[in-house]
């Protein structure tokens, strides 16, 4: 419930200023204060997005941005000389869509499970809890590029500590080329992403856990119900709304993933995501029209996912605006 | 010992074992980067779990390299400016969104939420054109401008939730005294908002310090790069001869300030993250 002046108790009864000069002045001031922010957002987000949509309908290249000609939907799909061409017929694009969906669903699921486990541990009372919580936060603070480089080194096929460790423990008998192999590179990328983002999920889950009422736990303890059952029947349903928020934040991040993959495996097709594909077309191949078409489709996929989520979870995500 | 005591002991041991596993998992990669960075290049390719030498030659190498020092300066310039702009625009916007009731407020909030969900690559070509038109290509100012796309929505969002929690009596008193909204913000709210501004400023700083895609795309020469791009582009003779010692030294150098900040402001960061997400 927002505390706005027009509803405050002090003014009820006489309501001296509803619709008065003070109120008008406040509304005018509000728009004046919002204007700079809205202008900046229009300049860096709104206008560029519209231009990207437009470029996707042209044959622009990086050097002919202004003078390109309109070619309709040809970047997406075109029938020419008995053959279909365009983004939607490119198997590499479809692979990048599949890779992105696979990466996002697997890594977010793993983060959710491990994040909740870490949160449950941090929710318990023990000595040194604050230190452990600080330590858990460290992976989150490390720049993505740095964590990707650190893991690339640890996953190095000849000199990496992971292969060394696995071979010492006789889990594998020959080194695994983690970032180069078709089978393992996606899992390597997921592993690094999960390592980096568990803290975020854990902190949100922990915040939710600490807001739970203590009395239902006492009741369950008195009744002698097994803690695992209590977790699934009481705790989990109560923290689900907070977890859903963490999941949507993480999913949106994972669907646009770029930097961790760019550093770990560069443009390899086994781990190519939609962002990597679009940027490769845009910058490396300088094909702005085609690359913009790929960006536009990524935008549409994320927008659809967001709208679907807002529609399904509209009761949980309150905008807190005009309530 | 009866079975009950054994059970309790097992539980305690299991719990501490779990904590140990979590700690090793969270800390080991960074620890390994630190010990790698302190090895001379001759010992680099022998796997060690413990610190075996204290050799600072990797640090000496990167800190005397002009492009890396320049990248640190660029990163500081960009991140500090981004924080400043985001807070300046954010505090006024959050006053409007958090304290004034007007038509279109939820629309503005929805737009802000929408922008924060943009995939960066979706604006890449359009933003490239804007930056080139403003003559900011290959210039830190272009990065400062482009970074507002992710710092500004977040800052406004979190500051608005904090702004809402302040008691209304303060503002009423100011209005009774005939203060204008601008005076109310600067004299009444600003002093109370410092903790919230420190939190959001810190989060915006970390986001700007770590950003990679725009920095990679909108800069060209070594002297204009930021730290993440500089580290990603450190290369040796070939793909298979990366200079891991200097790379790890550079990584540790740019990460230690962040880790220290996070340790000091742990509580604030947690409250900022949860305010941005849970209440969002």
pLDDT tens-digit map of B200-210: 898 899 899 99
Mean pLDDT of chain B: 86
d(CA A13, CA B266) in angstroms, rounded, equals: 46
Which residue from A minimizes the CA distance to B213? A259
What pLDDT shows up at residue A14? 41
A81 token code pair: 């000389």
Does residue A267 share a domain with residue A147? Answer: yes
CB A123 within 8 A of CB A203: no
Q: What is the pLDDT along chain A (323 residues), one digit of tens a residue?
A: 343 444 433 333 444 445 577 778 888 888 888 999 999 999 999 999 999 999 999 888 887 777 778 888 888 888 888 788 888 888 899 999 999 999 999 999 999 999 999 999 988 888 888 888 888 889 998 999 999 999 998 988 888 888 888 888 888 888 888 888 888 899 999 999 999 999 989 988 888 888 888 777 777 778 888 888 888 888 888 888 888 888 888 888 899 899 999 998 887 888 899 999 999 998 888 888 889 999 999 999 888 888 887 777 665 544 443 33
Considering only CA atoms, which of A239, A153, A253 is closest in space to residue A196?
Answer: A253
Does residue B151 share a domain with residue B256? Answer: yes
Query: Which residues from chain B sit within 8 angstroms of residue A18, using beta carbons?
Result: none
d(CA A271, CA A260) in angstroms, rounded, equals: 11
A310 token code pair: 């807002």
Exposure string of B7-27, with b = 16+ CB inside 10 Å and e = fewer, is eeeeeeeeeeeebeebeeebe
Query: Does residue A61 form part of some domain?
Result: no
Verify whether the Cβ–Cβ distance B29 to A204 is below 8 Å. Answer: no
A129 token code pair: 């809890």
- Dihedrals phi, psi of A162, to nearest 5 degrees: -65, -50
Verify whether the Cβ–Cβ distance B118 to A6 is below 8 Å. Answer: no
3-class state of residue B86 by DSSP: helix
**Residue in A51, A255, A258 nearest the CB of B213:** A258
3-class state of residue A79 by DSSP: strand
Q: Quick one: what percent of chain B has pLDDT higher than 70? A: 96
Query: Which residues from chain B sit within 8 angstroms of residue A150, using beta carbons?
Result: 29-30, 32-33, 248, 251
Which residues are paired to A80 by β-bridges? A83
What pLDDT shows up at residue A320? 41
Query: Which residues from chain A sit within 8 angstroms of residue B254, using beta carbons?
Result: 143, 146
Does residue A94 share a domain with residue A49? Answer: no
What pLDDT shows up at residue A102? 94
Residue-number span of the structural domain to which B33 is assigned: 3-55
Which of A10, A147, A149 best tests the B interface by mutation, with the highest count of B CBs <10 A? A149
CB pairs under 8 A between A and B: 305
d(CA A290, CA A279) in angstroms, rounded, equals: 10
B81 token code pair: 């400016």
A108-112 long-range contacts, Cβ below 8 Å, gap at least 24?
A108/A247, A108/A250, A108/A251, A108/A254, A110/A190, A110/A194, A111/A193, A111/A194, A111/A197, A111/A198, A111/A200, A111/A201, A111/A250, A112/A201, A112/A243, A112/A246, A112/A247, A112/A250
Which residue from A minimizes the CA distance to B166? A3
pLDDT in tens, B231-269: 988 876 555 678 888 899 999 999 998 888 888 888 888
Which of B43, B81, B126, B136 best tests the A interface by mutation, with the highest count of A CBs <10 A? B126
Distance from CA of B278 to the nearest CA of A (A): 6
**Residue in B206, B212, B263 nearest the CB of A259:** B212
Does residue A241 share a domain with residue A135? Answer: yes
Does residue A129 share a domain with residue A24? Answer: no
What pLDDT shows up at residue B177? 81
For the ranges A103-107, B23-27, B183-187, the lowest mean pLDDT is seen at: B183-187
Does residue B203 share a domain with residue B106? Answer: yes
CB A286 within 8 A of CB A61: yes
Residue-number span of the structural domain to which A40 is assigned: 5-55
Verify whether the Cβ–Cβ distance B274 to A124 is below 8 Å. Answer: no
CA angle A43, A249, A233 (to 5 degrees): 160
Per this entry, what is the length of chain A?
Answer: 323
Distances (CA, A) of A165 to A158, A160, A171, A176, B32: 12, 9, 9, 12, 13
Instruction: Reply yes or no on whether the pLDDT at B127 is more than 70.
Output: yes
Terminal C-alpha separation, chain B? 51
- Number of structural domains (chain A) is 2
**Residue in B26, B127, B129 nearest the CB of A135:** B26
- Show which of B55, B80, B99 is a domain's final residue: B55
Does residue B84 share a domain with residue B44? Answer: no
User: H or E stretch including A83?
Assistant: strand A83-85
**Matching residue, tokens 């423990």:** A169
What pLDDT shows up at residue B239? 58
Distance from CA of B128 to the nearest CA of A (A): 8
d(CA A270, CA A257) in angstroms, rounded, equals: 14
The CATH number for B161's domain is: 1.10.3720.10
Which residues are paired to A84 by β-bridges? A79
Which residue from A minimizes the CA distance to B132? A65
More confident residue, B133 or A222: B133
Distances (CA, A) of A126 to A250, B208, B262: 29, 35, 22
Instruction: Reply yes or no on whether the pLDDT at B275 is more than 80.
Output: no
Number of neighbours of residue B227 by Cβ within 10 angstroms: 28
**Between the ranges A2-11, B63-72, B186-195, where is the mean pLDDT highest?**
B63-72
Does residue B111 share a domain with residue B23? Answer: no
Distance from CA of B15 to the nearest CA of A (A): 8
What does DSSP assign to residue A315?
T
Verify whether the Cβ–Cβ distance A2 to B100 is below 8 Å. Answer: no
What pLDDT shows up at residue B106? 86
């Amino acid at each position: 419930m927002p505390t706005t002046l027009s509803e405050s108790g002090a003014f009820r009864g006489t309501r001296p200023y509803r619709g008065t000069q003070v109120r008008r002045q406040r509304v005018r001031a509000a728009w004046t204060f919002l204007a700079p922010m809205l202008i900046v957002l229009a300049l860096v987000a709104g206008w560029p997005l519209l231009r990207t949509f437009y470029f996707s309908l042209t044959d622009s290249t990086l050097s002919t941005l202004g003078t390109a000609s309109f070619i309709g939907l040809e970047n997406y799909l075109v029938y020419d000389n008995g053959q279909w061409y365009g983004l939607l017929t490119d198997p590499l694009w479809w692979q990048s869509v599949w890779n992105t969906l696979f990466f996002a669903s697997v890594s977010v699921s793993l983060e959710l499970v491990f994040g909740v486990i870490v949160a449950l541990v941090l929710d318990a009372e023990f000595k040194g809890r604050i230190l452990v919580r600080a330590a858990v936060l460290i992976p989150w603070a490390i720049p993505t590029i740095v964590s990707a480089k650190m893991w690339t080194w640890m996953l190095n096929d000849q000199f990496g500590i992971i292969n060394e460790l696995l071979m010492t423990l006789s889990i594998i008998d020959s080194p695994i080329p983690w970032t180069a192999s078709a089978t393992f590179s996606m899992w390597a990328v997921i592993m690094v992403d999960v390592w980096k983002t568990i803290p975020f999920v854990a902190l949100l889950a922990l915040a939710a856990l600490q807001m739970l009422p203590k009395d239902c736990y006492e009741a369950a303890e008195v009744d002698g119900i097994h803690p695992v059952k209590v977790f699934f029947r009481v705790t989990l349903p109560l923290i689900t709304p907070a977890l859903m928020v963490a999941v949507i934040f993480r999913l949106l991040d994972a669907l646009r993933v770029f930097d961790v993959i760019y550093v770990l495996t560069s443009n390899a097709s086994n781990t190519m995501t939609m962002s990597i594909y679009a940027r490769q077309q845009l910058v490396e191949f300088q094909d702005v029209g085609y690359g913009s078409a790929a960006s536009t489709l990524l935008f549409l996929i994320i927008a659809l996912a967001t709208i679907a989520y807002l529609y399904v979870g509209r009761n949980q995500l309150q905008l807190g605006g005009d309530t | 010992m009866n079975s009950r005591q054994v059970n309790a002991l097992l539980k305690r041991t299991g719990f501490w074992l779990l904590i140990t596993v979590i700690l090793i998992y969270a800390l080991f990669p960074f620890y390994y980067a630190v010990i790698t960075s302190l090895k001379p290049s001759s010992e680099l390719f022998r796997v060690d779990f413990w610190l075996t030498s204290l050799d600072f030659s990797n640090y000496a190498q990167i800190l005397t390299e002009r492009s890396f020092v320049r990248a640190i300066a660029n990163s500081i310039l960009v991140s500090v400016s981004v924080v400043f702009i985001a807070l300046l625009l954010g505090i006024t916007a959050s006053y409007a969104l958090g304290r004034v009731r007007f038509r279109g407020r939820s629309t503005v909030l929805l737009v802000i939420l929408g922008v924060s969900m943009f995939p960066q690559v979706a604006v890449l070509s359009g933003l490239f054109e804007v930056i080139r038109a403003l003559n900011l290509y290959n210039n830190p100012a272009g990065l400062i401008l482009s970074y507002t796309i992710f710092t500004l929505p977040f800052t406004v969002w979190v500051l608005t939730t904090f702004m809402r929690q302040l008691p209304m009596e303060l503002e009423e008193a100011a209005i009774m005294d005939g203060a204008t909204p601008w005076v109310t913000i600067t004299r009444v709210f600003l002093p109370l908002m410092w903790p919230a501004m420190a939190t959001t400023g810190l989060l915006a700083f970390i986001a700007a310090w770590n950003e990679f895609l725009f920095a990679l795309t909108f800069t060209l020469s070594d002297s204009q790069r930021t730290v993440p791009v500089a580290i990603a582009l450190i290369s040796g003779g070939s793909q298979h001869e990366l200079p891991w010692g200097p790379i790890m030294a550079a990584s540790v150098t740019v990460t230690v300030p962040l880790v220290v900040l996070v340790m000091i402001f742990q509580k604030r960061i947690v409250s900022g993250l949860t305010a941005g997400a849970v209440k969002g």
